[in-house]
Amino acid sequence: MLAPPLASTVSAVISLGFTARQTIPIVFFGFLICSVVITLTGRMGATYNIPYPVIVRSIFGMYGSYPMICIRAFVAMMWTAILCVQAGDFLGCCIEAIWPSFKNFPNHLPEGANITSSGLLTFFLYWMCQTALALMPMKKLRILFFVKAIVVPPTFLALFIWAAVVTKGGGPLVTGPVKLTNPYMNTAYSALTGLNVIIGLFSSLAVNMPDFGRFSRDQFAGYHQFFALPVIGTLGSLTPIFVTSAHSYLWRLPGEPVQWYMPAVIRMFDSRAAKFFTAFSFMLATIGNQVAAGTSRKDNIVGAIFIDNQRRYLSIQ
């Protein structure tokens, strides 16, 4: 929940013209709907100790499950690619905080590539680290998730407090009026569009929640997720709103768009220590998000297609 995709999702809701006062209820009810599906699908895995591909086969049959599996694998690959680029930028912020000369890294790529040589380098370095962790068994990654649980929430809280203090209450994104950006939709339709955006953030995770639930030792465990997702997700969504508002208050020039891309916001920090630890925390959150819900889930799902006929030649690793 506390990961960079949350900022992108909240920005999509606010881009409809809402402020934080309207966005927070939309986020809460969107996560509440997702929590129902996540809790129920997780119960399937916890009860029968089976992953998503097996449940899909029980519904659609052996061959009918292949399209469902391929669609889920495609979504996982898209998320992996997008977040690897973003996490590479977080790694670039960490390197810039340690060695400021990295900002002057020569670029040999054309402007149409939409990425610089330094960005491609950090993307490759991050991808190697994430791939190494993805090859580890899930049970051995408990230390990673334990560290993430200790580091990431305080970072979100610290950024929220800093932004609230700097803007003296939140700024226009929090206290400003509603200005709908689509003239063809009224407030109700815009709210439904925002609700759909929030549901889309966890829709892919909701269908393959049995991949996590099957590791549970108790079939009745996990019901707290029904309450955790709406509460923690809604509180976590306050941080990107306030941080973006602080960026607009401190650094945005007239005529420039609102900056939601967190690596770009972090690069504006004057303190090298704040830049490093904030970027490292967001990179750690991305690694945990990707290893748990991205790469390992994709490998598990794609392996379900080939493992029966090519057991000798293809494994999940």
CB 28 within 8 A of CB 230: yes
> Alpha helix locations (H) across 116-224?
117-134, 142-166, 172-175, 187-207, 210-213
pLDDT digit string (tens) for the chain, length 317 residues: 788 888 888 888 888 888 888 889 999 999 999 888 888 888 888 888 888 888 888 888 888 888 888 888 888 888 888 889 999 999 999 999 999 999 999 999 998 888 899 999 999 999 998 888 877 777 777 788 889 889 999 999 999 999 999 988 877 778 777 777 777 677 888 889 889 989 988 887 888 788 877 777 776 666 777 788 888 889 899 898 888 888 888 888 887 888 888 999 999 998 999 999 999 999 999 988 887 776 665 556 666 666 555 455 555 55
Dig out the tokens for 127 from the structure.
Answer: 């991808």
Compute CA distances 22 → 13, 190, 303, whole Å.
9, 11, 43
Residue with token string 């709908």: 180
Other CB atoms within 10 A of residue 221 CB: 13
Nearest Cα to 302, choosing from 80, 128, 5, 35? 80
Whether the full predicted model's pTM is greater than 0.95, yes or no, is no
Instruction: Write the secondary structure of 279-308 as one string of H (helix), E (strand) and C (coil).
Output: HHHHHHHHHHHHHHHHHHHHHHHHHHHHCC
pLDDT tens per residue, range 98-127:
999 999 999 999 988 888 999 999 999 999
How many angstroms separate the CA atoms of 283 and 248, rounded? 23
With a CB cutoff of 8 Å and minimum separation 6, the contacts of 100 are 272
Counting DSSP H helices and E strands in the chain, the numbers are 13, 0
CA angle centred on 158, ends 142 and 291, rounded to 5°: 25
Distance between start and end Cα atoms, the chain: 26
Distance CA 229, CA 227 (A): 6
For 50, phi then psi, to 5°, come to -125, 150
DSSP 113: G
Query: Do 77 and 205 meet the contact criterion of CB atoms below 8 Å apart?
Result: no
How far, in Å, are 5, 20, 87, 268 from residue 246 at the CA level? 19, 14, 22, 11
22-25: long-range contacts, CB 8 A cutoff, minimum separation 24? 22/178, 22/191, 23/194, 23/237, 23/241, 24/234, 24/237, 24/238
CA distances from 162 to 155, 262, 286 (A): 10, 15, 22
Instruction: Please state the φ and ψ torsions of residue 237, each to the nearest 5 degrees.
Output: -70, -20
Which of 294, 295, 240, 232 is closest to 35 using CA atoms?
232
